[in-house]
Amino acid sequence: MSRALAQLLARVLAVLALCAVLALLSDVFLTRGNIVNVLRQTSLLFFLASGLTLVVLTAGLDLSVGANISLAACVAGTAMKATGEPLLGAALGLGIGAAVGLCNGLMVALLRIPSFIATYGMLWVLQGAAYAYMAGQPVYGFPRAFRLIGVGTVGGIPVPILLMAAVLALGSVFTARTIWGQQIYAIGANATAARLSGVPVKRRLILVYLLSGATTGLAALIFLARLNSAEADIGGELTLPAIAAVLIGGASLFGGVGSLFGTFIGALLLTLVLNGMNLLEVDARWQPFVTGAIILAAVWIDMRTGRMFAARAEKGG
Amino acid sequence: MSAASLAARTPGAAFMLGVLAVGFAAATPGFASLPNLVNVLLQSSVLLLIALPMTLVIMTEGLDLSVGAVLTLASVVLALVATASGSVTLAILAGLAVGFSCGAVNGWLVAGLDLPPFVATLGTLGMVQGVALAASGGQSVVGLPPTLLVWYGGHVAMLPLPIVIVALAYTAMHVLLYRTSFGSHVFALGGNREALAFAGIRYRGTLAAVYALNGLMAGFAAILFTARLDAGHPTAGIGTEFDAIAAVAVGGTSFERGNGWLPGTVLGVLTIGVLRNGLNLLAVPSSLHVACIGVLVILAFVIEGAKGTAP
Amino acid sequence: MRRTLLFAVLGMLAAAGTARADGETVAVFTKNQTNPFFAAERVGAERAAAAMGAHVIQYVPTKPDSIPEQLSEIDDVVVKKPSAVVFVPVDYKAMVPGVQRLNAAGIPVVNITDRSAGGDFVAFVGASDYEIAKMTARRLMHALGGKGKVIILEGVRGALTAQDRLRGFKDAIAENPGVTLVASQPGNYQRLQGMQVMENLLQAHPDVDGVLAANDAMAIGALDALADSGHSAQVIGINATREAIDAIKAGKMLASGDYNGFLQGCIGTMIALRAARHESVPKSVALPVVVVDKSNYQPYAVPVEKRACPKWEDVPQH
């Protein structure tokens, strides 16, 4: 068993432990309705965090995802509202998301601006654009056909959960089983070594930011469909939770470590905390405290597992 | 000396600041007046106190996302103690203690428990914010003793007190970073940690101290902040961390090589301050403000990059 | 490269600098760029100023509801010296030093929407959050026949509006012994959070009869959560936004308390300009509480951009 696998197991166990506690404290926690509810809420955070995971694997960061959601959702929403065309809206949402990702990738790969700065600057530009575009008014009421990707079900399972499963499966295969995926890990582990061993670092970096932008665009569409409305700061408060999900999921900001499944666990943990606080009716003032404490506990458990495993490996176990 | 070679030797942030200042002075009559320049310095004072130690944190390849929340909590506690006891001295000491303790906890999490700084301080952000909300009951704490207001509105030898405090803070930080072994360890912590360990230097203490210093400075910033608001407010400082990080970045401190430049951070804070002030004076719509700040952050780096490759 | 940049920036700034118009200027301070309530207030201010031959400069924090940013904007406005200021404090207590700075500069200030805890104002124009919340909640209590289980979705902790609305809701509930408050949780005025919190609460309280949301965004989020999960409950919100009016019209939502940002923007600006011209002004204008429901939504279905400010004679004066 590798160290990363041990840590992943520890993380899954931590989530299960949290579930056990919540099940003891609230008799509705383990109902089918609530489980579906939690998974559907997890999916929104997961889409955002999935592309971000790839960026973090390359030792980068994408701070623009929240603002990217805002702009993509607002433009797609207004276009759909004006034309009634779900496909046009979907194309615009994905297109804007991906185009922003491409810009980030070009800034990072070609202009060599550190990703933190490039995407932080981008955050402000996108947020400003969304503010100017919406002028303080929300847009709402989208075609029923479009809303199905947010509120529809297939075989009793909500569409967002199915989409999450698909992105998780495809993304896991992509990162773990394809050459491009391996190259992304290699860039994060050591960019110079990767370049010397023939990895087209610049092109892969651009690809990674492009994918992050595209999944953000997808997240924007599902948000639109779920909420049936968009306003200029719809995504503003989602960036930090998305990054937190990736990092709680075991990815390192120094790159080369992490997985999409880990990110899913991270997103699930954060969603469970909120769900649990609502079910247990934790006082509003203490909710940020509880969230912060659980984030710390999660990374601490992670760290301890890693240490224990390393110690046993040293002993020859 | 030609204009081009002069430009090539100027740091990116100084260049941006110069261009903006000249531009605003030409475009709006109020900008270049002495009261307005003092105004910009005063507005920048709190951010400077936060951004200076943040430069050190970033030099160690770390980050402190909790500093805005720490500033908020220190301000709330300061205000609570001031209203309860009536003693400004006691209140200031309490605020500083809160700042230092939060910073020390961050230092312990990062240096002691080896938690990644980004997640560790994200966790403390939530906790500290929660305590600030609970301690204040979610409301502004008002009714501060008037003597506290001197910390933002007072003067020393014609100079506004916040500017004097910032100048002293800068001098202390400059000496600490460039004239002491602590400072050289900080430089080494960014990208050369193994060498420190190899030389038998206990870098964990230094690393923890950097975070503790960051918290302590947030405590000092809280004095000016509370005096400026004449209140302690449970969410007022939220987001300051990102302003500080942006200012450090505009100032040319690198996130990757651990190269820090303290004067650059001053330039970075002032550049953002001048930009916001000038855009306000020009009555540029707020949505454009937002976009301009983004362009500024990216441009500062592009200019730095262009300088590096200039012949 | 650098020189091109330099000229580009200078050119832009010069262009911006020459775009100043003559006549009086009114500086209007609002809290954020996302709440349609403040957008309506800004439109009202523009309308009133244009009708009186003046023009408006809008100051909105780039970070929603940021206290330090609004203080800085005040400092900058003191340098600019507009003829008058129309002011919504982002925090009613922490902005008092800012108001005092405007007072010291001798600029007449009209306080609208949230009443400032201090400073000198020409007048206050607003409606009581507490009253609006209580009246709207009473409409729900009436619809429920004075009995049932209700949930409150709270606004942002620390905001005066959230505290007053919560108090108004709770007092109205207390008037009805048959009504039980089963949960009160924060949705931070956000639609997504309102929806997700409602989804979570529905797990524990699927038999809820009524929802009191502290604003319309959360109310609509709650409606979606209810519809998606096949539950039904009567929902009220506050602000009478266009979306809420549509929902009321469609019979999905029960009622929304009207805060009328447009009117506050209009009247505040009219008073500010009259004060700058040394004409008589009332000390306070309290807008009547209107609970918008299926019986009286028609006037609210008109988009803000198409509404007209009232004539000065029609302004309710106290």
A316 within some domain = no
C318 within some domain = no
pLDDT recorded at residue B305? 65
Q: Is the pLDDT of residue A309 over 80?
A: no
Which of C34, C38, C199 has its CB closest to that of A37? Answer: C199
Question: What residues have CB less than 8 Å from C162, skipping those under 6 apart?
Answer: C154, C155, C156, C189, C214
- C70 and C153 within one domain: no
| Contact present, A297 and B109 (Cβ < 8 Å) | no
Residues of chain C with pLDDT under 50: 16-21
Averaged confidence pLDDT in chain B: 89
Q: How far is A41 from chain B (nearest CA, A)?
A: 20
- C172 and C107 within one domain: no
Q: What is the CATH number of the domain that holds A82?
A: 1.10.3470
C93/C135 Cα distance (integer angstroms): 26
Q: How far is B134 from chain A (nearest CA, A)?
A: 6
B123 contacts A296? CB cut-off 8 A = yes
Between A169 and C8, name the one with better pLDDT. Answer: A169
Averaged confidence pLDDT in chain C: 90
Chain C residues whose beta carbon lies within 8 Å of the beta carbon of residue B136: 158
A299 contacts B123? CB cut-off 8 A = yes
Q: Is A29 on the interface with C (CB under 8 A)?
A: yes
pLDDT recorded at residue C10? 53
ipTM confidence score: 0.88
Averaged confidence pLDDT in chain A: 91
pLDDT recorded at residue B310? 33
pLDDT recorded at residue C88? 96
Q: Is the pLDDT of residue A317 over 50?
A: no
Which of B139, B237, B286 has its CB closest to that of C33? Answer: B286
Q: Is A116 on the interface with B (CB under 8 A)?
A: yes
**Model pLDDT for residues A44-82, shown as the tens digit of each residue:** 999 999 999 999 999 999 999 999 999 999 999 999 999
C302 within some domain = no
Q: Is C42 on the interface with A (CB under 8 A)?
A: yes
- C135 and C114 within one domain: no
pLDDT recorded at residue C22? 59
pLDDT recorded at residue A316? 53
Tokens of A257: 């470590």
Query: How large a percentage of chain A has pLDDT more than 70?
Result: 98
B23/B43 Cα distance (integer angstroms): 20
Q: Is the pLDDT of residue B246 over 90?
A: no
Q: What is the CATH number of the domain that holds C64?
A: 3.40.50.2300
**Which burial class, exposed, middle or buried, applies to C298 when counting CB atoms under 10 A from its CB (0-12, 13-18, 19+)?**
exposed
Count of domains for chain A: 1
B308/B8 Cα distance (integer angstroms): 9
Enumerate the β-bridge partners of residue C291.
C257
Domain ranges in chain B are 33-237
- C247 and C133 within one domain: yes
Tokens of B193: 């940690």
Closest-CA residue of B relative to A131 is B287
Q: Residue B211: which pLDDT band, with cuts at 50, 70 and 90?
A: very high
Which helix (H) or strand (E) segment is A235 a member of? none
Which of C36, C190, C202 has its CB closest to that of A137? Answer: C36
**Model pLDDT for residues A209-220, shown as the tens digit of each residue:** 999 999 999 999
Chain A residues whose beta carbon lies within 8 Å of the beta carbon of residue B122: 240, 243-244, 247, 292, 295
B4 contacts C94? CB cut-off 8 A = no
pLDDT recorded at residue C12? 54
- C121 and C18 within one domain: yes
Which residues span the domain enclosing A113? 3-310
Between C306 and B127, name the one with better pLDDT. Answer: B127
Q: Is A237 on the interface with C (CB under 8 A)?
A: yes
Closest-CA residue of B relative to C28 is B283
Helix (H/G/I), strand (E/B), else coil: B76: helix
Region B229-252: what's the mean pLDDT?
89
**Which burial class, exposed, middle or buried, applies to C106 when counting CB atoms under 10 A from its CB (0-12, 13-18, 19+)?**
exposed
**Model pLDDT for residues B2-37, shown as the tens digit of each residue:** 445 444 555 778 888 999 999 999 998 889 999 899
Q: Is B201 on the interface with C (CB under 8 A)?
A: no
> Chains touching chain B at 3 or more Cβ pairs under 8 angstroms?
A, C
Count of domains for chain C: 2
pLDDT recorded at residue A59? 92
Considering all CA atoms of chain C, what is the largest pairwise distance in Å, rounded to the nearest integer?
75
- C133 and C236 within one domain: yes
- Torsion of the alpha carbons at C289, C291, C295 and C299, rounded to the nearest 10: 60
B130/B76 Cα distance (integer angstroms): 12
B284 contacts C93? CB cut-off 8 A = no
Q: Residue B77: which pLDDT band, with cuts at 50, 70 and 90?
A: very high
Q: Which residue spans within A128-232 are E strands per DSSP?
A: 139-140, 153-154, 157-158, 229-230
Which residues span the domain enclosing C194? 129-258
Which of A113, A125, A292 has its CB closest to that of B295? Answer: A125
Region B109-116: what's the mean pLDDT?
92
Chain C residues whose beta carbon lies within 8 Å of the beta carbon of residue A135: 39
| Touching A: C residues 93-122, CB under 8 Å | none
Angle between helices A3-25 and A287-315 (to 10 degrees): 140
C149 within some domain = yes
- C236 and C88 within one domain: no
Q: Residue B85: which pLDDT band, with cuts at 50, 70 and 90?
A: very high
- C267 and C199 within one domain: no
- Looking up tokens 């009443």 gives C115
Q: Is the pLDDT of residue B238 over 70?
A: yes
